Amino acid sequence: MTGSTKPTEAQSRKAIYAATIGNVMEWYDFGVFGFLAGSLAVNFFPKGDPRSSLLNTFLIFGVGLVFRPLGGIVIGRMGDTRGRKPALILTILMMAVGTVMIGVLPTYATIGVWAPILLLLARLLQGFSTGGEWGGATAFMAEWSVEGKRGLYTSFQQMSVAGGSLLGVALSALLTSTIGAGAIDEWGWRIPFLLGGLFGPIGLWLRREVDETPAYREAIAEGAAAEASTFGHAVKAFGFTVLWTVSFYVFLTYMPTYTRTQLHLTAAQSLWASTASLVALVLLVPSMGALSDRIGRKALLLASCALCFVLPIPAFYVLTGGYGFASVVLVQIVFAFAISLFSGPGPAAIAEIFPTRGRSAWMSSSYALAVAIFGGFAPFISQWLIDTTGSKMAPTAYVMAAAAVSFITIAGMRETAHRPLR
């Protein structure tokens, strides 16, 4: 960027604040599906085979994410041609509609096979929305960040993802503790989805109040003279994202189901353990983003890959050793620390791969494709591995393989922490 378009500290903070609050609402809506997977399985599939019903629910969770690359292409392209701001307004509207739709759907007992079909359609709408949301919000925050604080400011993108998930799991835990697991399965599961729909107007208002990013305005003014994003940039971003998405969906989204079905914690204990890990993640991510502004992105990213390769086996031995609720909380907080090493510098690092022209579309689509293939199906794959092998340790292999892929990708990337956005 040229000096004439650099944002001031006040402008940057206002834009980051608006994007963060909207992002929390967006990811609350999206994440609550995974936390209430057990209740959805009971209501949207036949009750004769609980294991198959749970697998089918996780399959819908994953299939919904298959639409993320399409959303990344369509909404990301909109962000590059019409601006980051209109694209982000569209994503929050679509997410609100999909979330309310789930909250009001009739169950399998009422309409039979149409219940899971309609659930899938609502999840596809959510997936399409998040496909454009993640890349659009990341580009928006990176382009509004002041130089020297891009790691810190963009870390609020991932903090808001964790914050939205935290809001979803905390509300689910509170409801389960208050009205009981039976009532949650019967009717209480609808409450988080219906509340999520109320967040839409708030997020819409916040995003309408911010301006277009300076970097985008400059790239449009420069036209053909500006460097464009390419397929090569997208390949790097894809490999970069593999561990990021697998670790998030295994250690955070799938864990409430894993600890409930495999470790026999109560529904409330499972949700409170995940709440503790998400609190730790929300607190740690900005610190890691700020640290990456000082020491660089690669050291933290590679450390996260290394930890996610060596920790899963001993950690799952502890989980499956029967040490109880406290050990589950401790292990999940340790995983939250490992994820924070990636999630803190990650948004800045992936945004810095791409030039401004095409950043939204290429980053959204490559990130969303990795999430769709490796992350969205992580709960399904984890459950399938356990059912197939009979081992509660089986998900560790999936995480370790993802860590190896991202380590190799990141090791070959240049350090970008102290370079201006292109």
- pLDDT tens for residues 34-85? 778 888 888 888 877 777 887 888 788 777 777 878 888 888 888 878 888 8
Q: Among 380, 364, 390, which residue's Cα sits nearest to residue 128?
A: 364
Give how far the C-alpha of residue 62 lies from the chain's centroid of Cα atoms, to the nearest Å.
13
- pLDDT tens for residues 108-157? 989 998 998 999 899 888 888 877 777 788 888 888 888 888 999 999 98
pTM: 0.78
- pLDDT tens for residues 144-161? 888 888 999 999 988 888
Tell me the CA end-to-end span of the chain in Å, nearest whole number: 7
**pLDDT at position 229, please?**
57
Ranked by mean pLDDT, which of 139-148, 173-182, 336-345 comes out on top?
336-345
Res. 223: pLDDT tops 70: no
**pLDDT at position 137, please?**
81
- pLDDT tens for residues 391-402? 999 999 999 999
Q: What average pLDDT does the structure give for the chain?
A: 85
How sure is the predictor about 1, in pLDDT bands with cuts at 50, 70 and 90? very low
Indicate the residue type of 211. Answer: D
Q: Go through the domains of the chain in sequence order and give each one's CATH number.
A: 3-411 (1.20.1250.20)
**pLDDT at position 247, please?**
92
Q: Among 172, 198, 196, 194, which residue's Cα sits nearest to residue 183?
A: 172
Res. 3: pLDDT tops 60: no
Q: Which residue did the predictor score with more confidence, 147 or 105?
A: 105
Q: Quick one: CA torsion of 331, 337, 338, 341, rounded to 10 degrees?
A: 180
